[in-house]
Amino acid sequence: MYTNVKFTKNSANSITLVIRNDSSSTLTVKVIKDSIFDTTVKTYTISANSTDIFVLSPETLIPGNYYFLSFSAPSNFSGYIS
């Protein structure tokens, strides 16, 4: 499963991901750079029935590039990017 929109970083600020895993299984979330080869930039693991906050530092994402998130199956989650 993937996010239905891509995001980009336009400033030197960090990006925060807040994800709640409502499943009884561990959830793996990948931040992927959208390119010909779709490179995984970061991988996060969220324990069952928990919420985690991840901060993507300014050095992690290159301004002007587009990124999306990938979620492992089975999944039942909610969250946001800020």
The structure's pTM equals 0.85
Close Cβ partners of 37 (under 8 Å, ≥ 6 residues apart): none
Answer yes or no: is pLDDT of 77 > 90.
yes
**54 lies in a domain?**
yes
**80 lies in a domain?**
no
Answer yes or no: is pLDDT of 30 > 80.
yes
Least confident of 5-9, 15-19, 56-60: 5-9
Q: What is the mean pLDDT of the chain?
A: 87
Mean pLDDT score, 42-55:
95
Task: Provide the domain count of the chain.
Answer: 1
**2 lies in a domain?**
no
**81 lies in a domain?**
no
**27 lies in a domain?**
yes
**46 lies in a domain?**
yes
Q: Which residue has the higher pLDDT, 30 or 64?
A: 30
| Alpha carbon distance 17, 7 (integer Å) | 12
Domain enclosing residue 35, as ranges: 7-74
